Chain A
Amino acid sequence: MRAGLHVEVAVRRGDFTLDATVHVAPGEVVAVLGRNGSGKSTLLAAVAGLLRPDNGRIVLDGRVLTDTAAGVALPPYRRRIGLLAQQPLLFPHLSVLDNVAFAPLAAGTRRRVAREVARRHLTEVDAAEFARRRPGQLSGGQAQRVALARALAADPDLLLLDEPLSAVDVELAPALRSLLQTMLAERPAVLVTHQLIDALVLADRVVVLDGGRVVEQGPTREVLTRPRSAFAARLAGLNLVSGTATVGGLRTEDGTELSGLADSTVLGAAAVAVFTPAAVAVYVDPPKGSPRNVVHDRVAALEPNGTLVRVRGVGGLAADITPASAVELGLHARADVWFVVKAAEVAVYPASV
């Protein structure tokens, strides 16, 4: 029976509490997004069985892996859950082939057969030529390929990927990413990542964690084009302002009014206003007599963003302007600015689904 993964856990560690419910359908890849300390790694460790939650139930394809109420806590080696970490962590004393043959051997397969299985998996990740090498003789990207083959050779029911590309050289990441895409096509997986591109390419659905709670989840495309959490908006490179819905826009907590194109908002309910940095203009003098949205702020930082310059305000808004206008405006950190965005560029929708 393929029922996918159902996770419902609470973990308390000092001040931090993770309290999350996540579901992964059969064959689905779910990306868990969130800033450092949001509880992503804790969630992964609980699923892998490396950490015992204070409360919760984890069920994979109908098998109960963890059930604190019933006192069930399957050890990691009985979970059939593979782990691909940031570092490849190939066993340094074994050849590449024997690294990949490790899982079949541990499962009781005879050495000759285990090595055949390993060879097949190495071929799959395009690393057959490294079979005889020692892990120390591989580059970071090659080693991560082998680590993937090793994890798949265990034929796991679920694969956990903990920022698998973050330690790989920038030039090598795309090839490895598309390899992951191929290998994950039919396989349920949970992917923890910081990178928008990883979520876009690999994940069917994303779950956004903040402060140990799920603040947003949905199909990748929807979450990244219509984010409801500050983190998802930042990841998608969008401005997000939250507040309560008004007629034709929203009002923020400090009383600022933003007008925009409201979409099924309920008056007085929590809503978010979302717009791209490219739609934001920057002025160094207060713009006069305009119906547009104006926010007075100070510049926190100027960052290169492709061929443009991203102006980040202390209040969290971002604007993309040309380098020429940045020079013309004489922008610098702590400069007084007015961010201006047309109402037609601002989408306002409910903060929760």
Chain B
Amino acid sequence: MLQTRAPRPVHTGLPGGLWVPSVLALGLIVLPVIGLVVRAPWSRFGELVTSESALAALELSLRTGLVSTLLCVVLGGPLAVVLARGSVPGLRLLRSVVLLPLVLPPVVGGLALLYLLGISGFAGYALNVVFGVRIPFTTTAVILAQTFVAMPFLVVSLEGALRTGGERYEVIAATLGAPPWTVFRRITVPLVLPGLGSGMVLSFARCLGEFGATIAFAGSLQGVTRTLPLEVYLREEVDPDGAIALSLVLVVVAIVVIAVARPRSAEGWG
């Protein structure tokens, strides 16, 4: 590998007036977290985050988050390939549709899921009559709500990776006699693994933080649908110390996610 160092860009000078709003913006992001750290009940921290309800919420969050991320990959991965490589009319419209959960208030998404899959919703009614299955207010509902809000993160970052990677290698592979499925398996997938990785991390983070869609569609039953953010919100009323301790757990997860996923997307191939 060649050892090249990027030449330092020469700056023409920043307008001084940009510094004040910049510092304020950073402060708005960092100070609340510091506030949380300062206010944290460090002496009882271990005991608070290992209480029965906290552990149940943490376990549920991790479990549903992993399953949702997997669902995002299984469903959103192929969708990203279709969006990046397909030549169907209306692809641009589809691309905007995928962004919908990103801009929609999550609680609206949760309500939408409820009116689709609830007992009175048409799909929910059919499921109930034909299979006797009820989805709302179950762990399945939590997973669906999380998949709904996290899907765009995976699709968008994977589609970006597919586009920057380009089709050139796939064309060469085809001229070497490889049928489409072989090209997909041996060229397309290995080349977008970094993009897929950062997409998965982002989706997982979004799943862990999911609140609105979950509470609307799945409710808040301890051990069944009460994920970590719901637990934090409910504790805030009765046990602020516990809420802060659990919040810090989520902060740590967020920082880990940024550390893992950010450098790649900053380099432009994630």
**Chain A positions near chain B (C-beta within 8 angstroms):** 48, 50, 75-83, 85, 87, 89, 91-93, 102-103, 106-107, 136-137, 150-151, 153-154, 156
Determine if A76 and B171 form an interchain contact, defined as CB atoms under 8 angstroms apart: yes
**B191 at interface (Cβ–Cβ under 8 A)?**
yes
**B7 at interface (Cβ–Cβ under 8 A)?**
no
Given A91-B169, A92-B191, A93-B191: A83 touches B175 (CB 8 Å cut-off): yes
Determine if A76 and B174 form an interchain contact, defined as CB atoms under 8 angstroms apart: yes
**Chain B positions near chain A (C-beta within 8 angstroms):** 1, 168-169, 171-180, 182-183, 186-187, 190-191
Residues on the A chain within 8 Å of B187, using CB = 91
| 9 A-B pairs (CB sep. < 8 Å) | A77-B174, A77-B175, A92-B191, A102-B186, A103-B177, A106-B179, A137-B1, A150-B176, A151-B176
Which 3 A-B residue pairs are closest in the complex by CB-CB distance? Answer: A106-B178, A103-B176, A76-B174
Chain A CB within 10 Å — which of B176, B178, B179, B183 has the most?
A: B176
Given A92-B191, A93-B191, A137-B1: A102 touches B171 (CB 8 Å cut-off): no
Given A102-B186, A106-B182, A136-B1: A89 touches B175 (CB 8 Å cut-off): no
Q: Which residue of B lies closest to A160 (CB)?
A: B175
CB distance from B182 to the nearest CB of A (A): 5
Determine if A102 and B173 form an interchain contact, defined as CB atoms under 8 angstroms apart: yes
> In whole angstroms, how far apart are the Cα atoms of A175 and B180 in the complex?
35
Residues on the A chain within 8 Å of B191, using CB = 91-93
> In whole angstroms, how far apart are the Cα atoms of A102 and B174 in the complex?
11
Chain B CB within 10 Å — which of A50, A76, A136, A156 has the most?
A: A76
Determine if A77 and B190 form an interchain contact, defined as CB atoms under 8 angstroms apart: no
Q: Which residue of B lies closest to A153 (CB)?
A: B176
Q: Which residue of A lies closest to B166 (CB)?
A: A89
CB distance from B174 to the nearest CB of A (A): 4
Given A93-B191, A106-B182: A80 touches B177 (CB 8 Å cut-off): yes
> In whole angstroms, how far apart are the Cα atoms of A80 and B175 in the complex?
7
Residues on the B chain within 8 Å of A137, using CB = 1
> In whole angstroms, how far apart are the Cα atoms of A82 and B182 in the complex?
17
> In whole angstroms, how far apart are the Cα atoms of A90 and B238 in the complex?
62
Residues on the B chain within 8 Å of A136, using CB = 1
> In whole angstroms, how far apart are the Cα atoms of A82 and B187 in the complex?
17
Given A91-B169, A93-B191: A102 touches B176 (CB 8 Å cut-off): yes
Residues on the B chain within 8 Å of A102, using CB = 173, 176, 178, 186
Determine if B1 and A89 form an interchain contact, defined as CB atoms under 8 angstroms apart: no
Residues on the A chain within 8 Å of B186, using CB = 102, 106
Determine if B168 and A154 form an interchain contact, defined as CB atoms under 8 angstroms apart: no
Residues on the A chain within 8 Å of B182, using CB = 106
Determine if B177 and A154 form an interchain contact, defined as CB atoms under 8 angstroms apart: yes
CB distance from A144 to the nearest CB of B (A): 13
> In whole angstroms, how far apart are the Cα atoms of A103 and B173 in the complex?
8
Residues on the A chain within 8 Å of B174, using CB = 75-77
Determine if B177 and A89 form an interchain contact, defined as CB atoms under 8 angstroms apart: no
Residues on the A chain within 8 Å of B169, using CB = 89, 91
CB distance from A148 to the nearest CB of B (A): 12
> In whole angstroms, how far apart are the Cα atoms of A50 and B87 in the complex?
14
Determine if B177 and A83 form an interchain contact, defined as CB atoms under 8 angstroms apart: no
Determine if A77 and B172 form an interchain contact, defined as CB atoms under 8 angstroms apart: no
Residues on the B chain within 8 Å of A83, using CB = 171-172, 175
Determine if B177 and A107 form an interchain contact, defined as CB atoms under 8 angstroms apart: yes
Residues on the A chain within 8 Å of B172, using CB = 83, 85, 89, 91
Residues on the A chain within 8 Å of B177, using CB = 77-78, 80, 103, 106-107, 154
> In whole angstroms, how far apart are the Cα atoms of A88 and B179 in the complex?
21
Residues on the B chain within 8 Å of A77, using CB = 174-180, 183
> In whole angstroms, how far apart are the Cα atoms of A76 and B175 in the complex?
6
Q: Which residue of B lies closest to A155 (CB)?
A: B177
Q: Which residue of B lies closest to A82 (CB)?
A: B175
> In whole angstroms, how far apart are the Cα atoms of A89 and B176 in the complex?
12
- Given A77-B176, A85-B172, A89-B172, 6 more pairs with CB closer than 8 A: A75-B174, A87-B168, A102-B178, A107-B177, A154-B175, A156-B175
Residues on the A chain within 8 Å of B183, using CB = 77
Q: Which residue of B lies closest to A100 (CB)?
A: B176
CB distance from B96 to the nearest CB of A (A): 27
> In whole angstroms, how far apart are the Cα atoms of A34 and B104 in the complex?
54
CB distance from A190 to the nearest CB of B (A): 13
Residues on the B chain within 8 Å of A156, using CB = 175
> In whole angstroms, how far apart are the Cα atoms of A184 and B180 in the complex?
29
Residues on the B chain within 8 Å of A150, using CB = 176
CB distance from B181 to the nearest CB of A (A): 10
CB distance from B172 to the nearest CB of A (A): 5
> In whole angstroms, how far apart are the Cα atoms of A75 and B177 in the complex?
10
> In whole angstroms, how far apart are the Cα atoms of A124 and B180 in the complex?
29
> In whole angstroms, how far apart are the Cα atoms of A164 and B4 in the complex?
27
> In whole angstroms, how far apart are the Cα atoms of A151 and B178 in the complex?
12
> In whole angstroms, how far apart are the Cα atoms of A80 and B174 in the complex?
10
Residues on the A chain within 8 Å of B1, using CB = 136-137
Determine if B175 and A93 form an interchain contact, defined as CB atoms under 8 angstroms apart: no
Q: Which residue of A lies closest to B176 (CB)?
A: A103
Q: Which residue of A lies closest to B182 (CB)?
A: A106
Residues on the B chain within 8 Å of A107, using CB = 177
- Which one of B168, B171, B176 contacts A106 once the chains associate, using CB atoms below 8 Å? B176
> In whole angstroms, how far apart are the Cα atoms of A125 and B1 in the complex?
23
Residues on the A chain within 8 Å of B171, using CB = 50, 76, 83
> In whole angstroms, how far apart are the Cα atoms of A48 and B168 in the complex?
14
Determine if A81 and B175 form an interchain contact, defined as CB atoms under 8 angstroms apart: yes
Determine if B176 and A82 form an interchain contact, defined as CB atoms under 8 angstroms apart: yes
CB distance from A246 to the nearest CB of B (A): 51
